[in-house]
């Protein structure tokens, strides 16, 4: 059960858009609709931002959007704000359970 | 309001046993799987396993099977994560989270294993 592949870091200026990729395989991202994204700030519990590839939970800003192409999922954050600075993790269902990506540190310049 | 409340931080010695807990409220506890997720110091999130509180059916990550035990007591809306013999490498923050989507998370339990 290999971890999904995310870039270690991304950065952007306030107001810009950024995209975080999450590469997997047909056994995870490409095979199931249960692909999700989490925002994690130090010392806090992770927060669900996107579920089932494209869906936003109630209360999550529409600046956050999810997509998938083949075996790669993506999280796009538009109109970057300082408060978006955090670690972001993707996750996918597999037959062996859930697998996470390695995490991406987002820095808002 | 859905809440998952975890037990407090633990400091243990290698070889000791430990059980930490995660209590759900604000929803029908038995209707949703509970997952356990590990975060070692400075590292990312790792899925450990999950349990169906209705019947205590469990599924473990191959990386954790045989090293931890996940159990549930649906009468008190609580899921547990247990070690029989802790190692220093078990030092981490452990989170519980609900459902396949991990939609609600506990606040985390810090476990520090040191001689």
Say yes or no for a CB contact (<8 Å) between A91 and B61.
no
Number of other residues whose CB lies within 10 A of the CB of residue B65: 13
Contacts of B46 by beta carbon, 8 Å cutoff, 6+ apart:
A100, B37, B38, B39, B40, B61, B63
Please state the separation of Cα A33 from the chain's center in Å: 14
Please indicate if any CB of chain B lies within 8 Å of the CB of A52. Answer: yes
Cross-chain CB nearest to A103 (options B45, B47, B49): B45
**For A41-67, what is each residue's pLDDT tens digit?**
999 999 999 999 999 999 999 999 999
Task: Give the CATH fold of the B3-113 domain.
Answer: Immunoglobulin-like (2.60.40)
What pLDDT sits at residue B113? 98
Domain edges within chain A? 9-108
For the cut 80, the answer to whether the pLDDT of residue A2 exceeds it is: no
Mean pLDDT of B91-109: 96
Domain edges within chain B? 3-113
Domain A9-108 is classified in which CATH homologous superfamily?
A: Immunoglobulins (2.60.40.10)
Cross-chain CB nearest to B101 (options A34, A40, A100): A34
Please indicate if any CB of chain B lies within 8 Å of the CB of A12. Answer: no
Cα separation of B86 and B80, whole Å? Answer: 15
What pLDDT sits at residue A1? 61
């Amino acid at each position: 059960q290999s971890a999904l592949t995310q870039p270690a870091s991304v950065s952007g200026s306030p107001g810009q858009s950024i995209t975080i990729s999450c590469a997997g395989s047909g056994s995870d991202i490409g095979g199931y609709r249960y692909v999700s994204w989490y925002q994690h700030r130090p010392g806090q519990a992770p927060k669900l931002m996107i579920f089932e590839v494209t869906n936003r939970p109630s209360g999550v800003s529409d600046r956050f959007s999810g997509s998938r192409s083949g075996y790669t999922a993506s999280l796009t954050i538009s109109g970057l704000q300082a408060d978006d600075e955090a670690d972001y993790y993707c996750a996918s269902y597999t037959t062996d359970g859930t697998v996470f990506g390695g995490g991406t540190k987002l820095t808002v310049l | 309001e859905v809440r998952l409340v975890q037990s407090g931080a633990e400091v243990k010695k290698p070889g000791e046993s430990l059980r930490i807990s995660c209590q759900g409220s604000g929803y029908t506890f038995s209707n949703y799987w509970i997952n356990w997720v590990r975060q070692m110091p400075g590292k990312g999130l790792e899925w450990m396993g999950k349990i169906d509180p209705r019947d205590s059916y469990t599924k473990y990550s191959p990386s954790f099977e045989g090293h931890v035990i996940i159990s549930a007591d649906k009468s008190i809306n609580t899921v547990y994560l247990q070690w029989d013999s802790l190692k220093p490498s078990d030092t981490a923050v452990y989170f519980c989270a609900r459902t396949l989507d991990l939609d609600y998370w506990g606040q985390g339990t810090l476990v520090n294993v040191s001689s």
